[in-house]
Structure 1
Amino acid sequence: MLKTLLILFTFSFFANFSLAQDLKPLGKYFYTISYFGEKVFHPGVQISVNRSQYISKNINNQKNRLVIGFSISNYVYPKNHFGLRLTPNVSFLHANDKGFEYGLKSGAGFMRRFYHGKVFEVDDYGNVEQKYLAGQNAFTYEASIVLAKNWYTHKKKNIRLFLEFGGFKETNYNESSLFHPVVNIGISKYFNMKK
Structure 2
Amino acid sequence: MKALLLFIFWLVASNCVAQFKNLESISVSYLGEMITHPGIKVSADFNMKEWDKTKNSHRGSSKTITKSLLFSPALGSFYHRRYQTGVFFMPEAKLKRKNPKGKFYEIGVGLGYLRTFIPNTYKVNDAGEVSKTLAGHNYFATNYSISFGKDLSVKKNLLVAYFIKPQFIYAVPNFPNGTGYFALEIGIKYSLK
Whole-Å separation in 2 of the counterparts to 1:116 and 1:126: 21
Q: Secondary structure at the match of 1:176?
A: coil
Partner of 1:39: 34
TM-score, normalized by length of structure 1? 0.77
Report the Cα offset of residue 174 of structure 1: 3.0
Q: Secondary structure at the match of 1:62?
A: strand
Partner of 1:166: 167
Partner of 1:53: 48
Residue type matched to 2:48 in 1? Q
Residue type matched to 1:121 in 2? K
- Indicate how the Cα distance of structure 1 residues 123 and 151 shifts in structure 2: closer, same or farther if over 3 A, else same: same
Give CA-to-partner distance per residue, 1:86-116, whole Å, 9 cap, x none: 0111110111101100120110100000001
Residue type matched to 2:133 in 1? K
- Indicate how the Cα distance of structure 1 residues 176 and 125 shifts in structure 2: closer, same or farther if over 3 A, else same: farther
Partner of 2:140: 139
Given candidates 65, 83, 93, the residue that maps to 1:62 is: 65
How much is the aligned-residue C-alpha RMSD, in angstroms?
2.2
Stretch of structure 1 that moved more, 158-167 or 145-154:
145-154
Question: Which sections of structure 1, spanning at least 5 residues, go unmatched?
Answer: 1-25
Partner of 2:22: 27
Partner of 2:5: none
Residue type matched to 1:174 in 2? F
Report the Cα offset of residue 49 of structure 1: 1.4
Given candidates 112, 115, 128, the residue that maps to 2:118 is: 115
Q: Is the 8 A contact 2:105 2:147 kept in 1?
A: yes
Whole-Å separation in 2 of the counterparts to 1:49 and 1:28: 7
Report the Cα offset of residue 131 of structure 1: 2.1
The percentage of aligned residue pairs carrying the same residue is: 21
Partner of 1:15: none
Whole-Å separation in 2 of the counterparts to 1:69 and 1:29: 10
Q: How many residues align?
A: 165
